[in-house]
Structure 1
Amino acid sequence: MKNFVNPVVFIGWIMMTLMSCSSDDDSNSDQVIQSEELPAPAKAFVSNYFPNTTYTRVEKNMQVEPDGTLFEVNLSNGFEIDFTAEGNWLDVDGQTQELPQGIVPESITNYVVQNYADLQIVGIDTETTEYEIDLSNGLDLYFTLSGEFVRVGNN
């Protein structure tokens, strides 16, 4: 019986070791870069909407993510912004802070002011066919890319 247990334990150990060496290790999926390496439109967006902040971390993904993100930027004020390879923003996350005026399309801002006057827009995410707006109470609002209200959702 002793000879039977040792090979089974050994084979199990080998299988667990091989499974832990997965090729999709996240540490190889992006690299930290200097802010100067961002595309010009991304740098212009940051300097326009966040003029008094500094970059705390800028990452370039090894591959474009399914949503189009290539660059992920963290700013000193806590904002996180995702950009495409061309430098267009896809996602602006203020955590709990209100987004600077002008990022959110005017028709969406007007809808929020009219229907959720006590709340702030703390995030915007550009999806393939719509915008997802994060409000300060955790509510999500969805709009078409032309700015028409679609539905309400929860975080």
Structure 2
Amino acid sequence: MKKIMLTAALLFAGITASLADNDRPIALDKLPAAAQTFLKTHFADLTLAYAVEDPKFVGSEYEVTYTDRTEVEFRPNGEWSSVERRYAAVPASIVPAQISDYVAKSSFPNQYIKKIERDAYTWEIELSNGIEIKFDREFHVIDIDD
């Protein structure tokens, strides 16, 4: 029984290691439909530098980079998980109103959001001055890091 368990553990470790850092370039039309629609809606005016697929144990994640160094990351289902713009604000249409209102009414009124990330439990933004603000699902501030 120990041999079977050891063999299974080694096999699992080998599969996991073979999937690590296995990014491969892809064409935009190979992205999930939701990701293609998101890019056409919010970044149609930018020039594509490259897109990569990152295979995971289940599904793939995607990253699209534009020539102005804008980066957009997608989950396997095509929903965006992160948008980062180096020299401009992220599109206002992807920022929840509660977050936009907080930034506008807080002590950061002249700053813009250059990065936004979301997961099932939190939203995190980075302002143009480098301050990072984390929100819970109800958009209450849970952390500010400068």
Which range, TM-score by smaller chain?
Answer: 0.7 to 0.9
Residue type matched to 1:70 in 2? E
Q: Which amino acid aligns with 2:55?
A: M
Residue in structure 2 matching 1:111, options 86, 102, 118: 102
Q: Does 1:30 align with 2:23?
A: yes
1:91 to 72, 82, 86: 82
Q: TM-score normalised to the size of structure 2?
A: 0.79
| One-letter amino acid matched to 2:22 | S
After the TM superposition, which residues 55-134 of structure 1 pair with which residues of structure 2 at under 5 Å, given as runs? 55-63=48-56, 70-115=61-106, 116-134=108-126
Q: Does 1:42 align with 2:38?
A: no
| Runs of 4+, deviation exceeding 6 Å | none
- Percent identity reads 25
CA distance in 1, matches of 2:19, 2:57: 14
State the 1:127 CA deviation.
Answer: 3.3
| Separation of aligned partners in 1, 2:87 and 2:111 | 11
When Rg is computed on C-alpha atoms for both structures, the one with the higher figure is: 1
- Cα deviation per residue 1:110-133 (whole Å; 9 max; x = unaligned)? 100111101110000113421110
RMSD of aligned alpha carbons: 2.3
What SS does the aligned partner of 1:51 have?
A: coil
Q: SS of 2:92's equivalent?
A: coil
Aligned amino acid, residue 39 of structure 1: P
SS of the aligned residue for 1:111 comes to: helix
The offset of 1:147, in angstroms, is 1.9
Distance between the aligned counterparts of 2:132 and 2:22, measured in 1? 29
TM-score, normalized by length of structure 1?
A: 0.75
Are 1:140 and 2:132 an aligned pair? yes
Cα 1:114/1:88, change in 2 over 3 Å: same
* 1:28 Cα deviation after fit: 5.3
Long gaps (5+) in structure 2: 1-15
DSSP-derived class of the 1:87 partner: coil
Aligned residue-pair number: 130
